[in-house]
Structure 1
Amino acid sequence: MNRLPFEVLLQVFEYIPFAEFGLLYDVFAQTLVDEAVVYKLGKNRTLPIVSLISTNLHELATDKVNRRNESSLSMYYASYDPSHRYIWTLPDFSCSQHYFKVKDAYVSHGKLVLRRPHDNTLFSQKSLVSLWDIRKRFPPTRAGSFSGASEYSRIKSQELTLHQPGCVLDSCLVPSSTNSSVKKISLGDNTSENTRIGVVGKEVKKDEALLKRPALPSNYTRQVPKAGADGSICSKSSLLVPTYPDPTCGYFLVERLAIDIPTFLKLYC
Structure 2
Amino acid sequence: MAQQRVLIVNDDGIDGRGIQLLEQMVRRFTDDIWVVAPDEERSGASHSISINHPIRARRRDERHFAVRGSPTDCALLGIYELMGDGRRPDILLSGINDGPNLAEDVLYSGTCAAAKEGAVLGIPSVALSQMRSYGNPANWAASEAYLPDIIDRLLAMDWPPGAFVNVNVPNVAPEAITGIEVTRQGRRPAGGFVPVRREDERFVPYYWIKISPQAADPAAGTDLYATANNAVSVTPMHLDMTCESLVEDLSRRFA
The bucket for the TM-score relative to the shorter chain is under 0.3
Q: TM-score, normalised by structure 2?
A: 0.25
Q: TM-score, normalised by structure 1?
A: 0.24
